[in-house]
Structure 1
């Protein structure tokens, strides 16, 4: 699966006002609810936060990849949020997070989330890719960045 197949412009939020991890995840999940990717906001957010309790998805470099397989997900999708102000996230490098990629996969979605996590993780290792993401100012630039790398 190509990562750009599950990241749509309608699920990319700039100027995210999240004050903390839960707030940022909830705002991204609201976008998924609005676009009919999830059926229950509170249920899906609870599933994501339960996953976060197991091991933080803050990977460093100002990035986090929260995710969940959930009965509340109708189709696989990724919501992207670029925060106005970086938030604490319990990352491997102790840096605050400025960009979140929230992965939503149906409970019976097999290993789709692992495929998406793998693709994103490989891209995030490239410093020039991270720099282009940081400079992106709209949804089209985020999508272009993901396609180019």
Structure 2
């Protein structure tokens, strides 16, 4: 069984636009603290079909955040965890109504938040997904387009369009 599971993971598409769905996108999130934003993102995915343990996910995401801020610069935060709390990757996105201090590496507040959780055994995919999110979201044109989105479907469209030329992970 574990061999089949590993094979499935190796061929599982890992485009952000495939992992993200409208139910896990929030626009105009009006929360004023880093902790509040992370809690809201965790709440957003609490009914995700790939999530088997809400409390474990919360614990692992907060533990990772304590180690070092996931504010990656350019107004982007990427709270994440490798965790036994999920069976397959989970991705959520929020656009904050106003910038929130996140202890980012560039000292700039955050408006774009991605929550990523992958199974423990998917280390390579986890790193590739973190890299892809960073690569896509760090483009000023993409961030500007995301700021103009009016609904979750238009957010998905931005990612789909941007990832057309990307290789599969």
TM-score by length of 1: 0.90
- Secondary structure at 2:46 match in 1: helix
Deviation at 1:42, TM superposition (A): 2.8
Cα RMSD over matched residues?
Answer: 1.5
Gaps of 5+ in 1: none
- Secondary structure at 1:100 match in 2: strand
- Secondary structure at 1:33 match in 2: coil
Work out which of the residue numbers 52, 66, 75 in structure 1 matches 2:79.
66
Deviation at 1:144, TM superposition (A): 0.8
Q: Is contact 1:78–1:101 with CA below 8 Å preserved after alignment?
A: yes
Equivalent pairs, count: 149
Q: What is aligned with 2:31? A: 18
Give me the whole-angstrom Cα distance separating, in 2, the residues matched to 1:75 and 1:31. Answer: 17
Deviation at 1:16, TM superposition (A): 2.0
Deviation at 1:120, TM superposition (A): 1.4
Larger Rg: 2
Deviation digits for residues 24-57 of structure 1 (CA, Å, limit 9, x no counterpart):
1121111211223323333212211111122211
Q: Is contact 1:33–1:39 with CA below 8 Å preserved after alignment?
A: no
Q: Is contact 2:94–2:113 with CA below 8 Å preserved after alignment?
A: yes
Q: What is aligned with 1:143? A: 156
Give me the whole-angstrom Cα distance separating, in 1, the residues matched to 2:15 and 2:22. Answer: 15
The correspondence of residues 1-149 of structure 1 with structure 2, limited to 5 A, is: 1-149=14-162
Give me the whole-angstrom Cα distance separating, in 1, the residues matched to 2:34 and 2:109. Answer: 10
Give me the whole-angstrom Cα distance separating, in 1, the residues matched to 2:40 and 2:54. Answer: 10
- Secondary structure at 1:131 match in 2: helix
Measured at CA, do residues 38 and 19 of structure 1 come closer, stay the same or move farther in structure 2, by a change above 3 Å?
farther
Gaps of 5+ in 2: 1-13, 163-169
